[in-house]
Homo-oligomer: A and B are copies of this chain.
Amino acid sequence: MAVHPSIVFADVTSDLTPEERRSLLGGKGASLAEMSGLLSLPVPPAFTITTEVCRRFLDGGWPDDLDDLLRESVWALEQRVGRRLGDSADPLLVSVRSGAPVSMPGMMDTVVNLGLNDETAAGLAASTDDRFALDTHRRFVQSYASVVLGARVDLGAIVGEALGRAGVDREADLAPDDLRGLLADLREAIVDDGSTPVPDDPYEQLRGAVAAVFESWRGERAVVYRRREGIPDELGTACSVQVMVFGNRDDRSGSGVAFTRDPTTGQDRRTGDFLLNAQGEDVVAGTHTTLPLDELAMHLPEAAEELERALDVLERHERDLCDVEFTIEQGRLHVLQVRRGKRTGAAALRIAVDLVANPEIALTRAEALARVTPEHLEQVLHARFADSGEAVELTRGLAASPGAAVGGVCLTAEAALDAADRGEPVILVRKETSPEDVAGMSVAEGVLTARGGLVSHAALVARGWGIPCVVGADELRIADDHFTVGDRVVHVGDIIAIDGSTGVVTLGEREVADDDVPPELEVVLGWADEAAAGHLTVRANADTAEDARAAREAGAVGIGLCRTEHMFLAPDRLPMVRAMILAETVAAEVEALERLAAVQREDFVGILEAMDGQTVTVRLLDPPLHEFLPDVEDLVVAEARGELDDEGHRLLEAARHWAESNPMIGTRGVRLAHVHPSLYRVQARALFEAVADRRAAGGDPQVEVMIPLTVSGPEFAEARRWVEEAAVEAALGEAPVVGTMIETPRAALVAGTLAPHADFFSIGSNDLTQMTFGFSRDDVEVRFLGDYVERGFLDHDPFDRLDDVAVGELIDLAVERGRAAVPGLKVGACGEHAGDPASIRRLLAAGVDYLSCSPARLPVARLAAAQAVLDAGAAPMVVPGETSRSPRQTGGADGRDPR
């Protein structure tokens, strides 16, 4: 303990592992101990009261032995710096700060300049100057009154009055007499407020501050934060008592912030800011123009040299970009705090790759992966607005597909195509989109709709293609050549901008920063694939050859969801689908289906070619038939106006016939196939014929067939039979691979009877979430879901992030029961959750083998899969074809709500 300025109750510091140190001393205390003890950096002497003491305090009030321990520690501190707390000649001043084992920035309390009273302030004045001593005293009283005494009076307002009276802007400009008057005013206000006065006895001050720091652990802010972040209540906070140093002491003093690398670009060069004769708060407040760090050497060359050495030591110790707060007092450097630095996405990637390559640091790939967040990837992958948002906000909708887009308003797909032909950027604005709009969407910079939720047609198509999109902007009223939002009219051709990451729509031109994707991205994602291989592989959802090629380029190892309805919705196919629906004889229906099959076969050939050698899982038709028909309302209006022809009348009858009260839980998926039994057979045959075509062309097609919306074993077995028959008809030559989706709660619960008929399961978590909550996503996201999350009824939007409790339990049960019936059963997940990091973690814990997400989510999913696998501590795969599984991490089986 000899050279150890950080004193801990219980002589444990030296024996502790870094984790134990953090748990006992908190993040800040551990960092102080390491910097001063292990790294011998110039840190102001301090001691830390452990979290164990805090827990005893919270359980039973001020512990009996704490006074003795505090006095011993203060004595040791005094010995070290040669000043005494309460010494009227040369008083020791300290700060008292909280520091939990887990970072909770700004959530708990701090008292600075503790140790001042009228007597010690006079001593401080004698050894410095009058104004400095008075201002420091004023700061102490203000912080102590609000933090420790809980004064409710607005002390800031009293300071403001004093500034006003003196006619100055900053406290630093107040004359000693002004400060003296202000101090008196503050003390009077505190007593008038009903508080006890700030105690004069420095030890009493310290006692109060320590108690306040401990108490702040159960303050409302801290409790709410912990709940949101999932931090256990029983950790408690440590409390560090540190000698004050003053960057505002004189011109050989100063304060600053230094980064060991550039947090914006990731370049290997020091960056930062500093101010001479100033405190740390002045540097961050933005009230002064700071100086760039590389000028420090011009002003205080020794301190600059010492800082450079400290940064070097710290980066090698932390093995990461460090963000270092320092103060120079009378030429001498003090390191106050070190944290791993926040960084941009581009910097995160570059630093990760650089530190792995750096032989002195030799970061492992697993460590490097842990330092890159999904948000970092989002930043480098999507365009952002370069301006900081002065644009006029027009309205807000749901953020349906991230990215920034600017363009002229087009209200129809045709207009969008024309404008695109003229080379004009387009924002396509529609009430909602339908298959007819797809061509227009494909040329648009962005899409904005007045209706629909995050699974509406517009949202799904835009996310699939990575086009920025805002949906459900329900203030929009769309007319023929303009739209309105309240009183504001926006005409065709007017420039608007949409932010698909926030849902904000603005009027007028904005600048889009569309930086290139940094080259380190592919390096990092390659490491991710390595780490996750054999535990959790990542496929993509893709419905066309083009999407499949893009997905493969983006790193997908297969297609986990190829939606055949998107083939049906293509404008050239729709007439064939309608012919099938309108068919009045079985022969006519079969003829229409055969025409569809012929074009589907070509589609499949393209996809299988793009994914040659990789698995393509084709889901047979899923949506209700009415989605392929025109809107009943439009037809009814046309009929009322006498504008409906024969074909229109037949369409109206069909649309009415197929209209359902609740289509999402109506006649879709395998149910529709049971109503039209040739449907799946013909689709499957087209697929198997495509396989034959590819084989004839020397390719290596790998297909699986997936049946949607199953509720019972016999229902699925019958659908499987159709696919097997189609395989025979198409002379496939082998038994087809047929699996079922798990999308209804019943399917999850009867998984044990589905599994014997199934070659694999695929968890359709979107539908499973809808049915488990009884939440029609299109409806609830527009009306109340955001509000539910805000009010704490739900922890999060269960469509964004898998509901750990109920949906998670159903997935656990599906996997458990499926594998109990068929050991080793392959299970995938192909809902949108497959692209969300927290959900990926949960899916891995449930035992899922592979994910399938939209191509745009691939980078995030690949990273998140690797992080989840690494966190679960999964051993590398041993037996080929069998996954070694990490133990289940989360339960949910006890039905607990996360709150």
Which residues from chain A sit less than 8 Å from chain B, CB to CB? 632-633, 636-637, 639-641, 660-667, 671, 674-675, 709, 711-715, 718, 743-746, 749-753, 767, 770-776, 778-780, 783-784, 787-788, 791-794, 803, 805-807, 809-810, 813, 817, 892, 894-897, 899
CA distance A1 to B779 in the complex (A): 77
Please state if A661 and B663 are interface contacts (CB–CB under 8 Å). Answer: yes
**Among A713, A774, A775, A810, residue most surrounded by chain B Cβ atoms (within 10 Å):** A774
Question: Which chain B residues border A810 with CB–CB below 8 Å?
Answer: 745, 749
CA distance A809 to B746 in the complex (A): 10
**Among A714, A767, A787, A810, residue most surrounded by chain B Cβ atoms (within 10 Å):** A714
Given A745-B745, A775-B665: A899 touches B714 (CB 8 Å cut-off): yes
Which 3 pairs show the lowest CB-CB distances between chains A and B?
Answer: A662-B776, A666-B779, A753-B897
Given A711-B774, A897-B713: A662 touches B779 (CB 8 Å cut-off): yes
Question: Which chain B residues border A637 with CB–CB below 8 Å?
Answer: 636-637, 639-640
Using CB atoms, name the residue of chain B closest to A668: B774
Question: Which chain B residues border A671 with CB–CB below 8 Å?
Answer: 780, 783-784
CB distance from A768 to the nearest CB of B (A): 9
CB distance from A563 to the nearest CB of B (A): 18
Please state if B895 and A666 are interface contacts (CB–CB under 8 Å). Answer: no
Using CB atoms, name the residue of chain B closest to A778: B661
Q: List 7 A-B contacts (CB under 8 A).
A: A636-B636, A665-B771, A714-B899, A718-B791, A743-B774, A749-B805, A749-B806
CA distance A673 to B713 in the complex (A): 39
Question: Which chain B residues border A641 with CB–CB below 8 Å?
Answer: 640-641
Please state if B771 and A767 are interface contacts (CB–CB under 8 Å). Answer: no
Residue in B636, B713, B793, B805 whose beta carbon sits within 8 Å of that of A899 in the complex: B713
Please state if B813 and A778 are interface contacts (CB–CB under 8 Å). Answer: no
**Among A712, A715, A752, residue most surrounded by chain B Cβ atoms (within 10 Å):** A712
Please state if B709 and A779 are interface contacts (CB–CB under 8 Å). Answer: no
Please state if A780 and B897 are interface contacts (CB–CB under 8 Å). Answer: no
Residue in B633, B714, B750, B770 whose beta carbon sits within 8 Å of that of A805 in the complex: B750
CB distance from A130 to the nearest CB of B (A): 56
CA distance A540 to B783 in the complex (A): 34
Q: A667-B783, A749-B809 are in contact. List 7 more A-B contacts (CB 8 A).
A: A665-B665, A665-B774, A667-B780, A709-B774, A711-B774, A711-B794, A745-B745
CB distance from A22 to the nearest CB of B (A): 32
Question: Which chain B residues border A772 with CB–CB below 8 Å?
Answer: 744-746, 749, 771
Using CB atoms, name the residue of chain B closest to A783: B667
Given A783-B667, A784-B675: A897 touches B791 (CB 8 Å cut-off): no
Residue in B715, B749, B897, B899 whose beta carbon sits within 8 Å of that of A895 in the complex: B749
Residue in B750, B791, B809, B899 whose beta carbon sits within 8 Å of that of A806 in the complex: B750
Given A640-B637, A895-B752, A895-B817: A661 touches B664 (CB 8 Å cut-off): yes
Question: Which chain B residues border A675 with CB–CB below 8 Å?
Answer: 783-784, 787
Question: Which chain B residues border A743 with CB–CB below 8 Å?
Answer: 774
Please state if B746 and A773 are interface contacts (CB–CB under 8 Å). Answer: yes
**Among A778, A793, A805, residue most surrounded by chain B Cβ atoms (within 10 Å):** A793
CA distance A350 to B792 in the complex (A): 60
CB distance from A633 to the nearest CB of B (A): 5
CA distance A746 to B743 in the complex (A): 14
Given A633-B633, A752-B895: A665 touches B806 (CB 8 Å cut-off): no
CB distance from A678 to the nearest CB of B (A): 16
Given A713-B897, A752-B895: A662 touches B778 (CB 8 Å cut-off): yes
CB distance from A784 to the nearest CB of B (A): 6
Question: Which chain B residues border A792 with CB–CB below 8 Å?
Answer: 714
Using CB atoms, name the residue of chain B closest to A754: B897
CA distance A664 to B752 in the complex (A): 29
Question: Which chain B residues border A712 with CB–CB below 8 Å?
Answer: 793-794, 897, 899
Using CB atoms, name the residue of chain B closest to A717: B793
Please state if A779 and B667 are interface contacts (CB–CB under 8 Å). Answer: yes
CA distance A83 to B399 in the complex (A): 95
CA distance A894 to B896 in the complex (A): 21
CA distance A894 to B743 in the complex (A): 19
Please state if A780 and B666 are interface contacts (CB–CB under 8 Å). Answer: yes
Please state if A776 and B665 are interface contacts (CB–CB under 8 Å). Answer: yes
Please state if A776 and B661 are interface contacts (CB–CB under 8 Å). Answer: yes
Using CB atoms, name the residue of chain B closest to A769: B746
Please state if A745 and B771 are interface contacts (CB–CB under 8 Å). Answer: yes
Please state if B773 and A666 are interface contacts (CB–CB under 8 Å). Answer: no
Question: Which chain B residues border A803 with CB–CB below 8 Å?
Answer: 746
Question: Which chain B residues border A783 with CB–CB below 8 Å?
Answer: 666-667, 671, 675
CA distance A793 to B639 in the complex (A): 40
CA distance A260 to B143 in the complex (A): 100
Question: Which chain B residues border A787 with CB–CB below 8 Å?
Answer: 674-675
**Among A666, A667, A674, A713, residue most surrounded by chain B Cβ atoms (within 10 Å):** A666
CA distance A632 to B636 in the complex (A): 11
Question: Which chain B residues border A752 with CB–CB below 8 Å?
Answer: 894-897
CA distance A780 to B715 in the complex (A): 15
Given A715-B788, A745-B772: A895 touches B813 (CB 8 Å cut-off): yes
CA distance A809 to B794 in the complex (A): 24
CB distance from A824 to the nearest CB of B (A): 18
Please state if B745 and A806 are interface contacts (CB–CB under 8 Å). Answer: yes
CA distance A778 to B667 in the complex (A): 11
CA distance A663 to B664 in the complex (A): 10
CB distance from A890 to the nearest CB of B (A): 14
CA distance A783 to B753 in the complex (A): 25
Question: Which chain B residues border A805 with CB–CB below 8 Å?
Answer: 746, 749-750
Question: Which chain B residues border A791 with CB–CB below 8 Å?
Answer: 674, 714, 718
Using CB atoms, name the residue of chain B closest to A641: B640
CB distance from A846 to the nearest CB of B (A): 14
Question: Which chain B residues border A714 with CB–CB below 8 Å?
Answer: 791-793, 897, 899
Question: Which chain B residues border A767 with CB–CB below 8 Å?
Answer: 774
CB distance from A811 to the nearest CB of B (A): 12
Residue in B662, B674, B770, B895 whose beta carbon sits within 8 Å of that of A784 in the complex: B674
CB distance from A778 to the nearest CB of B (A): 4
Question: Which chain B residues border A817 with CB–CB below 8 Å?
Answer: 894-895
Using CB atoms, name the residue of chain B closest to A455: B661
CB distance from A783 to the nearest CB of B (A): 5
Question: Which chain B residues border A894 with CB–CB below 8 Å?
Answer: 752, 817
CB distance from A720 to the nearest CB of B (A): 13
Question: Which chain B residues border A892 with CB–CB below 8 Å?
Answer: 749
**Among A662, A770, A776, A817, residue most surrounded by chain B Cβ atoms (within 10 Å):** A662
Question: Which chain B residues border A745 with CB–CB below 8 Å?
Answer: 745, 771-774, 806, 810
Using CB atoms, name the residue of chain B closest to A643: B640
Please state if B667 and A665 are interface contacts (CB–CB under 8 Å). Answer: no
Question: Which chain B residues border A784 with CB–CB below 8 Å?
Answer: 667, 671, 674-675
CA distance A713 to B751 in the complex (A): 28
CA distance A206 to B661 in the complex (A): 62
CA distance A896 to B667 in the complex (A): 25
Question: Which chain B residues border A809 with CB–CB below 8 Å?
Answer: 749
Using CB atoms, name the residue of chain B closest to A716: B793
CA distance A662 to B806 in the complex (A): 21
CA distance A671 to B780 in the complex (A): 9
CA distance A803 to B750 in the complex (A): 12
CA distance A674 to B641 in the complex (A): 40
CB distance from A95 to the nearest CB of B (A): 39
Please state if A895 and B750 are interface contacts (CB–CB under 8 Å). Answer: yes
Question: Which chain B residues border A640 with CB–CB below 8 Å?
Answer: 636-637, 640-641
Question: Which chain B residues border A788 with CB–CB below 8 Å?
Answer: 674, 715
Question: Which chain B residues border A744 with CB–CB below 8 Å?
Answer: 772-774
CB distance from A826 to the nearest CB of B (A): 19
CA distance A639 to B637 in the complex (A): 8
CA distance A752 to B550 in the complex (A): 46
CB distance from A782 to the nearest CB of B (A): 9
Question: Which chain B residues border A713 with CB–CB below 8 Å?
Answer: 897, 899
CB distance from A802 to the nearest CB of B (A): 13
Question: Which chain B residues border A661 with CB–CB below 8 Å?
Answer: 663-664, 776, 778-779
CA distance A833 to B749 in the complex (A): 20
CA distance A813 to B778 in the complex (A): 29
CB distance from A722 to the nearest CB of B (A): 13
